[in-house]
Amino acid sequence: MQLILRAAAAGRWGAIEIKLGGDDLIEEGATSLKTLKSKIEEKSDENSPSFLLVLTAVGGAYKREDGVYVAPINLLKP
């Protein structure tokens, strides 16, 4: 599942892929997000996303070498 977050006034937005499994699903989510970003850059006047995030069920938060963030859902709590 992909979510798009937008700060309308600034024209900035981010893309989030929800993956509840392990490393294979995180990789799948990162690939999907990078594909989405590439398509937007090639075929749209829309700004590129400010961030790409794979949201997981558990685990640590980190930034991958390709720039995609990975974080567990419990970090979103207030």
Tokens at 9, concatenated = 């006034």
What was the pLDDT predicted at 47? 83
Residues 33, 5 contacting (CB under 8 angstroms): no
Residues 68, 52 contacting (CB under 8 angstroms): yes
The residue ranges of every structural domain in the chain are: 2-76
Give pLDDT tens digits for 1-46.
Answer: 565 555 555 777 889 999 988 899 999 999 999 999 999 889 887 7
CA 18 from centroid of its chain's CA atoms:
8
What was the pLDDT predicted at 29? 95
What was the pLDDT predicted at 11? 73
| Mean pLDDT of the 45-61 span | 90
62-63 β-sheet, strand order: 2-7, 12-18, 51-56, 69-72, 62-63
